[in-house]
Amino acid sequence: MFLEMISFESDYNNGAHPRVLQHLVETNAEKTVSYGGDVYSKRAADKIRAACDCLAADVFFLVGGTQTNQVVIDTLLRPYEGVVAADTGHISLHEAGAIEHGGHKVLALPHRDGRVDAADLRAYVRAFYADENHEHMVFPGMVYISHPTEYGTLYSKQELTDLAEVCREFGMRLYLDGARLGYALASYETDVTLADIARLCDAFYIGGTKVGALCGEALVFPKGAPNRFVTMVKQHGALVAKGRLIGVQFDALFTDDLYLTIGRHAIDMAEKLKAVLTEKGVPFYRKSPTNQQFVVLENSRLDALKENLGYSFWEMADDEHTVIRLATSWATDPADIERLRELF
Amino acid sequence: MFLEMISFESDYNNGAHPRVLQHLVETNAEKTVSYGGDVYSKRAADKIRAACDCLAADVFFLVGGTQTNQVVIDTLLRPYEGVVAADTGHISLHEAGAIEHGGHKVLALPHRDGRVDAADLRAYVRAFYADENHEHMVFPGMVYISHPTEYGTLYSKQELTDLAEVCREFGMRLYLDGARLGYALASYETDVTLADIARLCDAFYIGGTKVGALCGEALVFPKGAPNRFVTMVKQHGALVAKGRLIGVQFDALFTDDLYLTIGRHAIDMAEKLKAVLTEKGVPFYRKSPTNQQFVVLENSRLDALKENLGYSFWEMADDEHTVIRLATSWATDPADIERLRELF
Amino acid sequence: MFLEMISFESDYNNGAHPRVLQHLVETNAEKTVSYGGDVYSKRAADKIRAACDCLAADVFFLVGGTQTNQVVIDTLLRPYEGVVAADTGHISLHEAGAIEHGGHKVLALPHRDGRVDAADLRAYVRAFYADENHEHMVFPGMVYISHPTEYGTLYSKQELTDLAEVCREFGMRLYLDGARLGYALASYETDVTLADIARLCDAFYIGGTKVGALCGEALVFPKGAPNRFVTMVKQHGALVAKGRLIGVQFDALFTDDLYLTIGRHAIDMAEKLKAVLTEKGVPFYRKSPTNQQFVVLENSRLDALKENLGYSFWEMADDEHTVIRLATSWATDPADIERLRELF
Amino acid sequence: MFLEMISFESDYNNGAHPRVLQHLVETNAEKTVSYGGDVYSKRAADKIRAACDCLAADVFFLVGGTQTNQVVIDTLLRPYEGVVAADTGHISLHEAGAIEHGGHKVLALPHRDGRVDAADLRAYVRAFYADENHEHMVFPGMVYISHPTEYGTLYSKQELTDLAEVCREFGMRLYLDGARLGYALASYETDVTLADIARLCDAFYIGGTKVGALCGEALVFPKGAPNRFVTMVKQHGALVAKGRLIGVQFDALFTDDLYLTIGRHAIDMAEKLKAVLTEKGVPFYRKSPTNQQFVVLENSRLDALKENLGYSFWEMADDEHTVIRLATSWATDPADIERLRELF
């Protein structure tokens, strides 16, 4: 990948949002206790609990998304359980086997525009328990969803509620990967709030790395964390000594609605981008209401664009076409979208 | 632990060294590729190779020490091998079973002032292979040492050479945990250089978290990394999306000898601290030539100090005495040492 | 499942073939060394090497099939690799996550009558390496096939050769699960010999449990076993103290062609069974040339048969039809097939 | 090891006790359901529950000792817990890292004649919880003891009661490895019954492999097994398809007190052996009241004996002396003890 003037290759190709960085700078000289016991981590957790309208929640700060997925799935599943996910889910495809490394199978269901469908899920779990040999199979113990999904699509409140209902019915936990949650919350087309998520899920994380932080994800257990959770985080090599690094950043992100502000700018830019691409007749691979847009280009055209456009390869559509991803972020400059118009 | 005006509780209780932070600030607006492919990570790796006088080395940046230990040990050991360490080693005691979580036994040898002794090691490994049942036992595949050790002590060049010799003799790898390597290199009493370490070890890491960075450790494989190492890092949940976060910091740490400068200040302060404690007749638990000093205090005296002195509990010496650790860092203010004199 | 006079529910519902049992009885009083070093295990290994026309092979005896799959896959895969299998493969579905428990992902391909297709495999692996993000994905390191498959179907020599060719091309190992290998070798419709398997695979096992033994599988590494294999078997809890138990049985199974004799009887009986079922107009779910036959029955008819017929539930065909398995073995009495004719 | 006429090298160097074998022969032609659901496994479980005076117990049959230890420890421990054992314990030394393979640390305490001492245990656990950093350490979740121990020694009823008391106090489970339990129960010097063990332990196994069976251990959970235990056994590759193989054997072992009869013969023989060795002035390494006797011999004398005596190497006592083990079993011929007298 080559980085050019017009950069849409990802939402983690820059540093931190200036207000996040500023908070790191202004707190740098202070001395704090380690391993997340510092005042900034506590303050950030309080603000997150308030934003989730869930005072009983336990909040932890981890460094990255795959790490958070691995730790949550390992600690919420029993040894004989696996995690159900869309076959396009991040844990199904792009975590190098991190979930299996922890001993658990990913039970993949065919995705529906990137989503797990509640009816599919119920059918799968019913068939599992109806199978006379299910004692020899991996029990479905959790459902993993990403919101936005890997295709930028979203769950509606009704869809989330339906999934939570199936989970309750069969004793499964519901876990939401919110690596780009800011863009979901800010989408023009969502009816799902942070409070809804906290009410419906057993665990979820609010992504920082891809939403304005240098690093870090805020993991929320609305009904409380597993016993000895910090020890298990340590055991996974995931406990940060200077925990304030993430606490300070989330303290900034959840002050004066910065997290939503970041999400909104990216969404505004994505809508402009969609308008330009539509105007130019570029076909979309999937309809996405969030900051990631997937379009299909002829390979020859892509070759011509490469020098001036930063994008991410997604997959081959066919021998002559490629699916690419264009992503916006807090750092996207509206001028770049105008320049993109000229490129196409 | 309560944080007071006089703060010696750890070397990771503050933010980053100002020059490290400054480099993060000045590079914040740039766009870079992700997962460690950015120009700062590459530049930092080059500078580290030069500092180690080892151009063939592979260098990777990870977030924390336990994580690095876990990844290195998992990827360098074969499934039937364990790692030999001092019984006081960080991996033996204070990583919540992270090594066993990866499937490997820690084969503990009695420490010698925190060190693994080459003669002990040879005797252990010889006895292993002499045992007719050793096919039913865990093979010693690696030796883990920390430098400085958990007691602040150091290996001499001869001791390191002897360990490396035993390792070569029995096909074991030698791995050095350099969480506080800066303080070892800057010690008044060391004859070991970074180039010595690169020459003698199969892997080691140069600690950042405890030596001036916000987070991050630079992992060095002088003879090259295991095949598909990045994939295995990802599998451990340890691959950082915005890899530049650590690359930028190590770029600063290895510019104009900042890493050594940080080490030297901490060592100078530690020597002053030792002088004051000696003057005050406070007994040392261990003699340490680095930035961590261990002293034994009566519990009653400790209670009196608590309000004004930040320290770390280490262990109970007996029912009436406690071992505490006092640590210096780049941020230690000489004035605090004077104030400590008045406290005692 | 209820056991009736007419028993076709499995090929492991009885004890051992009389000659196998006899050998256990006649050697019972002898004293032998343990852990597989005994003369019977050695003799059995020699006979297997001869039968495979592969004198360089390493042969080990393990207790069961899932155990053997787990040990082989764990010890032949590198940590970053997964195993490709049909989505109907035993390791994909019916081993309770034993492969994931060892840290490896099962990469499921759509089955073709229970088989992995070489062209599908090549397409999958090519797409993997063509994907720019494959460093974040699980590498295909091995191909698992069962022969006969879970549907009783077989690979032809050409199909095996094609799979081996793809494996060689991409550095993957080829592993054949021969839980019912005796029935494959004795099928009227096969052109694959034990020597072919030894020539084409990196590992395979010759099933005993389902082919006349009380327990036990003979694991063969035609090109030699992984280093320290016995230690890794022990580490998996799979090393049998009184190893002769399995050695003696395989010594009997590979004396005077008993293994083939057992296979042939079961196949003869299966062909008779197929003739009767065809005559009675019972629809087959899959065409199987081995000892397992899969037929589709109306649920009401199945209810009526239940009292007099031992069978295995396989899966629901639809709401009103069920797929059942009827299996023959060395112990199948031709008279039972006549009685089955009357039942239908 | 060379097998000679006088054979004391182990208690698993022969086949099965004739009555065990006889039961296998007489049930061989019957058809039974698989995976432990057969009538013999159920009958054996009932007899074991009666022998343990514990009608609520769950009983399972596994193949071997290391496997049983691995499965029990994996399924009873939480992820953040380790298992406390004597440093001479089988799981500490001679299972090739099977416990660590399952992700758990073995927390070794110095042995007392092979035993874990309750006072040592309490001191260890108290120190653990008193340590301010214990959140970064492996929690002691279980105590593993072997009875007889690896040195043939036994716990008294008081010692077992004391251990159980410490376990209850700190929420740890107590697990007893009874690989040679028959010899403990039959010892002249024990006051511990099977009912005592069932009352005091959370899990234990009654060894078959080394007490007259071809293979197999009976695992007992007096207070009930972990949820979905069979699935977890399968996941460990430890579920036996033809489960009756072990069920039939334990049905025989627990009929007409055969298990105790076997134990008693071995103990009678061991006492005779001790008398002869004492008479001959051979020094004992440890005083053992069970079927394993440990003596110290000059290496030169051992060389002379080798051709006529089967024994097991245990460890080097010093450069010129070796500790060997002589073991009796149900198959020990009194005449062999007389012949041993002549050898010495």
The per-residue pLDDT for B307 is 87
Which residues in chain C are closer than 8 Å to D72, comparing Cβ atoms?
none
Q: How far is B169 from chain A (nearest CA, A)?
A: 31
The per-residue pLDDT for C344 is 85
On whether both A170 and A225 belong to a single domain, the answer is: yes
Q: Do A231 and D80 touch (CB under 8 A)?
A: yes
pLDDT above 80 (res A197): yes
At D113-171, the pLDDT tens digits run: 999 999 999 999 999 999 989 999 999 999 999 999 999 999 999 999 999 999 999 99
Residue to mutate among A77, A104, A135, with most D CBs inside 10 A, is A135
In chain A, which residue's Cα lies nearest the Cα of D239? A136
Residue B82, SS3?
strand
Which residues in chain B are closer than 8 Å to C78, comparing Cβ atoms?
227-228
On whether both D235 and D314 belong to a single domain, the answer is: no
Which residues in chain D are closer than 8 Å to A80, comparing Cβ atoms?
228, 231-232, 235
Percent of chain A with pLDDT over 90: 93
Q: Is residue C305 part of a domain?
A: yes
Amino acid symbol at A209: T
C-alpha B109/C-alpha B113 separation (Å) is 12
CATH of residue C104:
3.40.640.10
Q: Do D15 and C29 touch (CB under 8 A)?
A: yes
Q: How many CB pairs under 8 A join B and D?
A: 60
b/e code D196-234 from CB counts within 10 Å (16+ = b): bbbebbbbbbbbbbbbbbbbbbbbbbbeebbebbbbbbb
Which residues in chain A are closer than 8 Å to D230, comparing Cβ atoms?
135
pLDDT above 70 (res A3): no
b/e code D23-54 from CB counts within 10 Å (16+ = b): bbbebbeebbbbbbebbbbebbbebbbebbeb
Residue to mutate among B70, B101, B132, B322, with most D CBs inside 10 A, is B101
| Six-digit token string for A148 | 């936005």
The per-residue pLDDT for B2 is 42
Pairing mode of beta strands D292-298, D106-109: unpaired
In chain D, which residue's Cα lies nearest the Cα of C8? D31
Q: Least CB-CB distance to B136: which of C78, C135, C234?
A: C234
Which residues in chain D are closer than 8 Å to A74, comparing Cβ atoms?
79
- Main-chain dihedrals φ then ψ at residue D329, nearest 5 degrees: -155, -175
Q: Do B242 and A33 touch (CB under 8 A)?
A: no
Q: How many CB atoms lie within 10 A of CB D141?
A: 22
| Six-digit token string for C306 | 């239940």
The per-residue pLDDT for C2 is 42
Q: Is residue D83 part of a domain?
A: yes
Which residues in chain D are closer than 8 Å to A78, comparing Cβ atoms?
227-228
What is the distance, to the nearest Å, from the Cα of residue D246 to the centroid of all Cα atoms in its chain?
17
Pair B212, B17: CB distance under 8 Å: yes
Residue D129, SS3?
helix
Q: Domain end: B257, B289, B320, which one?
A: B257
Q: H/E element holding B247? A: helix B244-253
pLDDT band at A148 (very low <50, low <70, confident <90, very high): very high
C-alpha B196/C-alpha B189 separation (Å) is 15
On whether both B201 and B304 belong to a single domain, the answer is: no
Q: Least CB-CB distance to A231: which of D75, D139, D234?
A: D139
On whether both D170 and D113 belong to a single domain, the answer is: yes
C-alpha A310/C-alpha B331 separation (Å) is 41
Q: Do B137 and D82 touch (CB under 8 A)?
A: no
Residue to mutate among A66, A88, A100, with most C CBs inside 10 A, is A100
CATH of residue C302:
3.90.1150.10
On whether both D131 and D180 belong to a single domain, the answer is: yes
Q: Do C235 and B79 touch (CB under 8 A)?
A: yes
On whether both A221 and A291 belong to a single domain, the answer is: no
At A289-305, the pLDDT tens digits run: 999 999 999 999 999 99
Start-to-end Cα distance in chain D: 19
Pair B109, B121: CB distance under 8 Å: yes
Q: Is the whole model's pTM more than 0.90, yes or no?
A: yes
Chains that touch D (3 or more CB pairs under 8 A): A, B, C
Pair A167, A145: CB distance under 8 Å: no
Walk along chain C (344 residues) and give the pLDDT tens digit of each residue.
444 478 899 999 999 999 999 999 999 999 999 999 999 999 999 999 999 999 999 999 999 999 999 999 999 999 999 999 999 999 999 999 999 999 999 999 999 999 999 999 999 999 999 998 999 999 999 999 999 999 999 999 999 999 999 999 999 999 999 999 999 999 999 999 999 999 999 999 999 999 999 999 999 999 999 999 999 999 999 999 999 999 999 999 999 999 999 999 999 999 999 999 999 999 999 999 999 999 999 999 999 998 899 999 998 889 899 999 999 999 999 999 999 999 88
Q: Do D139 and A234 touch (CB under 8 A)?
A: no
What contacts D47, CB < 8 A, 6 or more positions away?
A: D250, D251, D254, D255
On whether both B191 and B299 belong to a single domain, the answer is: no
- Main-chain dihedrals φ then ψ at residue B323, nearest 5 degrees: -90, 125
Pair A217, A61: CB distance under 8 Å: yes
DSSP lists the bridge partners of residue D61 as D218
Q: Least CB-CB distance to B97: which of D82, D94, D96?
A: D82
Q: Domain end: C257, C291, C313, which one?
A: C257
Chains that touch A (3 or more CB pairs under 8 A): B, C, D
The per-residue pLDDT for C281 is 95
Q: How many CB atoms lie within 10 A of CB A110?
A: 10
What contacts A83, CB < 8 A, 6 or more positions away?
A: A73, A77, A91, A99, A104, A105, A106, A107, A140, A141, A142, A143, A144, A175
Q: Do D67 and C28 touch (CB under 8 A)?
A: no
C-alpha C196/C-alpha D179 separation (Å) is 42
In chain A, which residue's Cα lies nearest the Cα of D75? A79
Distances in whole angstroms, Cα of residue B268 to Cα of each of B187, B263, B271, D60: 9, 9, 5, 64
Q: Domain end: C203, C230, C257, which one?
A: C257
Q: How many CB pairs under 8 A join A and B?
A: 157
Q: How far is A126 from chain B (nearest CA, A)?
A: 32
In chain D, which residue's Cα lies nearest the Cα of B82? D97
Q: Do A97 and C80 touch (CB under 8 A)?
A: yes
Q: Is residue C33 part of a domain?
A: yes
Q: How far is D34 from chain C (nearest CA, A)?
A: 6
What contacts A339, CB < 8 A, 6 or more positions away?
A: A5, A6
Q: Least CB-CB distance to D136: which of B94, B133, B138?
A: B94
Q: H/E element holding D121? A: helix D118-130
Q: Is residue D140 part of a domain?
A: yes
- Is residue B283 reached through a cis peptide bond, with omega within 30 degrees of 0 on the bond before it? no
Domain boundaries, position C329: 6-13+259-343
On whether both B99 and B171 belong to a single domain, the answer is: yes
C-alpha A87/C-alpha D242 separation (Å) is 36
Which residues in chain C are closer than 8 Å to B80, comparing Cβ atoms?
228, 231-232, 235
Q: How far is D34 from chain B (nearest CA, A)?
A: 31
Looking at chain C, how many residues does it have? Answer: 344
Give the ipTM: 0.96
Q: Is residue D151 part of a domain?
A: yes
On whether both C204 and C304 belong to a single domain, the answer is: no
On whether both C329 and C192 belong to a single domain, the answer is: no
Q: How many domains does chain B have?
A: 2
What contacts A101, CB < 8 A, 6 or more positions away?
A: A70, B235, B236, C79, C103
Q: Is residue B290 part of a domain?
A: yes
Residue with tokens 């000895």: A228
Q: Is residue D1 part of a domain?
A: no
On whether both C292 and C199 belong to a single domain, the answer is: no
C-alpha B173/C-alpha A6 separation (Å) is 47
Q: Do A100 and C104 touch (CB under 8 A)?
A: yes
Q: Least CB-CB distance to A94: which of C100, C136, C313?
A: C136
On whether both B218 and B271 belong to a single domain, the answer is: no
CA neighbor of A74 nearest in space, from B98, C267, C241: B98
Q: Least CB-CB distance to C231: which of B80, B235, B239?
A: B80
Helix, strand, coil % over all residues of chain A, rounded to 5: 40, 20, 40
Q: Is residue B231 part of a domain?
A: yes
Q: How far is D251 from chain B (nearest CA, A)?
A: 31
Pair C139, C82: CB distance under 8 Å: yes
Walk along chain B (344 residues) and give the pLDDT tens digit of each residue.
444 478 899 999 999 999 999 999 999 999 999 999 999 999 999 999 999 999 999 999 999 999 999 999 999 999 999 999 999 999 999 999 999 999 999 999 999 999 999 999 999 999 999 998 999 999 999 999 999 999 999 999 999 999 999 999 999 999 999 999 999 999 999 999 999 999 999 999 999 999 999 999 999 999 999 999 999 999 999 999 999 999 999 999 999 999 999 999 999 999 999 999 999 999 999 999 999 999 999 999 999 998 899 999 988 889 899 999 999 999 999 999 999 999 88
pLDDT above 70 (res D93): yes
Average pLDDT estimate for A202-216: 98
DSSP lists the bridge partners of residue C178 as C206
Pair A185, A48: CB distance under 8 Å: no
